[in-house]
Chains A and B, each alone.
Chain A
Amino acid sequence: MYRAVCVVLCACLLLPALRCENLLCYYCPLQSNGKVCRPVLSECPPQELCSTARGRYGGRVVLSARGCLSKQECRLEHVISYKGTNITMSYSCCDWHYCNSGSRITVHSALFALAVATTIILPAWAR
């Protein structure tokens, strides 16, 4: 019984796509890479993921943005005009809450550790 609850909890934490509610992602408009945004959360429409965008100019990352993006767009690379300069944009997407906070790996690891801890500790505590 508890094991089942834990599995569901894990699934909820790691795969929000399975749930009915929409993803909550950080939003920051397209701007020079390295500039910090005040943290603003945005709720994505269904079928959209949290994304981190990087704009490259001659191999160097010059722009960055965060927000929601459709699954199809996540895979694509394209060229945009930013202040008169052509920038190649590429995206990386993730599908759990706040996953595009910037320190993507740490958040992911923290969530993963929490999930693992819950899975192990909860059944032990329940017995």
Chain B
Amino acid sequence: MGKFAIWAVLLSALVVCSSGCFQCLVNVDDSLRLCWGHVLTKYDIRNVDSCFSTIDRIFNRKERVIQAGRVGGGYDKQLRDIMYAEIMPLVEEFDNKLNADSVYEDRLQTAADNFVAEAYKLPRATGCIPPCGFQVSGSVYNCVTCLYDSCEYPLDCPTRDLVVQENNSTEMRCDVQFSLPRDIEIIWRFAPEVRTQQVEQFGLVTVGEDQLYSIPSARLHHMGTYQCEIFSQQYSIIRTYHHLTVIPQVLVAQAKLQGIFNMALLPGGQIPAQPAVPPHDLGPTRSSWLLSLPSPPLLAACLTALLLLLFLSLGFVIWWMKIIRNQASMDPVTSIH
């Protein structure tokens, strides 16, 4: 067991990891041409295996080289050019000729140093802008995986809410925070009624380059979720979502009427030509109606005055009837007739 562990440790040191800038950027045939004449001086044999081990040690397992290779989106081609500018002269020089391992070691080390110096001059990534989308400009080249490290954001953006009154116009913009590539295709999809991000619920609406989706006159059937998906070279970059709520016209009219009614109830109130913002619901209107009532003492005084007037008029009617009756008793002829 112990022996096996020692072997395992030994092996892990010997193992060629074979992941690095050299392996990512130089194709196998060129590296085989480079290594063909590698002479292992210890045994005086032409040994290709140890040449690849040397390359691996100098280029691939050096953190310095891997760091230099962390260029911004789209710059891997330039990185390859830099690598080839260093490697190809060696390939041509060593082609079908035998060279000692020490020569290889020196020349490859110089090539690696030059590569690091040149690679650092290439633009680095601009950084990722959250919270969503595949951002080429934010991604970083990785010499371990030979791929770009993405920003690791989801394609789906959080849903934005939109509210519009029936018959009014509205528009949605497929805006993204990061810079988009030039050749983009935009697909708008619509899921009626629901608020969702489930792909299967959406139906295709338009395909083109338009980032703006406009509804000139919103109807109730426009209610639902709108998805905007941006493609670049057949690959999806981002999906944005807008949830649209349409307030029916009936409710809008009712709210407007309520507003006008409130204005009329205000003491000395005048109905303005166009109320600025008609209230939307009935709650606040009811409270404003209560607020527009006169104060209780004023009410009491009014009521007292009204009652007094009633009693006075009643008194006057009784008094007037009495006079009529008296006149009738004093003139019996008239009364008989």
Contacts and interface: CB of A to CB of B under 8 A. Distances in A.
Interface string A72-98: 110010101111100001000000000
A78 B46 contact: no
Contact of A45 (B8, B15, B29, B47): B47
Contact of B52 (A29, A80, A84): A29
A46 interface: yes
B45 interface: yes
Chain B contact residues (Cβ within 8 angstroms of A): what range?
A: 20 to 34
Contacts of A76: 7-8, 11
A83 B19 contact: yes
Contact of B11 (A28, A67, A68, A73): A73
Contacts of B31: 29
B48 A42 contact: yes
Interface string A29-71: 1110001011011111110000000000000000000011000
A43 B35 CA distance: 13
Nearest to A25: B49
A30 B19 CA distance: 10
Contacts of B18: 29-30, 80, 82
B14 A73 contact: yes
Chain B interface, >50% SS class: mixed
Contact of A42 (B28, B29, B47, B144): B47
Given A46-B43, A73-B11, A83-B146, A38 B48 contact: no
A45 B45 contact: yes
Contacts, number: 75
A43 to B, nearest CB: 4
Given A37-B28, A40-B48, A82-B18, 11 more contacts: A22-B45, A28-B28, A28-B32, A40-B36, A42-B46, A42-B49, A44-B47, A68-B49, A72-B7, A78-B11, A83-B147
22 contacts: A22-B43, A22-B45, A27-B32, A27-B49, A28-B28, A29-B28, A29-B52, A31-B28, A37-B32, A38-B29, A42-B47, A44-B47, A45-B43, A46-B43, A78-B8, A78-B12, A81-B19, A83-B144, A83-B145, A83-B147, A84-B144, A89-B15
A-B residue pairs, 9 tightest by C-beta: A42-B48, A43-B45, A84-B145, A27-B48, A30-B18, A67-B49, A83-B145, A45-B43, A68-B49
